[in-house]
Amino acid sequence: MKIHDLSEKNSVLNHFLGEIRDVNIQKDRLRFRRNIERIGEIMAYEISKELQYKNWAIATPLGVKNSNKINDKIVICSILRAGLTLHNGFLNYFDGAENGFISAYRFHPNNDDNFEIKLEYEVVSDINESNLILVDPMLATGQSIVAVFNKLISKGAPKEIHLAVVIAAPEGIKYLESNLPDYCHLWIASIDEKLNENNYIIPGLGDAGDLAFGTKL
């Protein structure tokens, strides 16, 4: 797996990462959602450098300019519900992309710390011969992404696979490396310290879904 750590160089990305973590700033849900969306836009720009392009002869009012445009089919798939705002950021840049949405959550059958990943709602465009971009703000254990990946791959064969996460734990990265194909690209805005005993990212930012859309029942 090829890992792209976008926080290695200073950019405005680090500013937005700081704001979504800050306990005072993140209380503003509109600002939190917009910052996640901005991070998605930056990640989309970085991923765009890996795509295939073709020549484009553009007729302007005064002549013709030869340029390039994306020649790849793109499918953006997000894991509900936390992935929606990140998805919007990608869609702002890849505005002609097809889309997919899958719900995944931790199910605790014995009401203890042990859990399994449940997949329920899903609607996904045709991913065959596409550049599939799977987005989720938080990479904790990695089990949700692997479960969703396996579900998607059962439906088709994409040409390229990109996984995009905002904050990742080392344990989650290791799990993906052990359970996903080597040809996958993993794009990370920030790598954090570890998981705690409840499998939440430390220092992290809290629950991205709750911060964006409100607490769950």
Residues in the chain: 217
φ, ψ of residue 159 to 5 degrees: the values are -75, -45
Please give the angle made by the CA atoms of 59, 60 and 66, to the nearest 5 degrees.
55
**Strand positions, DSSP E, 37-128:** 53-60, 63-70, 74-80, 98-107, 116-124
pLDDT, residue 114, reads: 67
Contact between 4 and 186 (Cβ < 8 Å)? yes
- List average pLDDT for each run of 10 residues in the chain, which is 217 residues long: 93 96 96 97 97 96 96 95 94 96 77 72 93 96 92 93 98 97 96 94 94 87
Please give the pLDDT value at position 80: 87
pLDDT of residue 105: 74
| SS3 label, residue 199 | coil
Confidence at residue 163, expressed as pLDDT on a 0 to 100 scale: 98
pTM score, whole prediction: 0.92
Domains and CATH numbers, the chain: 2-56+66-213 (3.40.50.2020)
- Name the helix (H) or strand (E) containing 41: helix 29-48
CA distance 59 to 61: 7
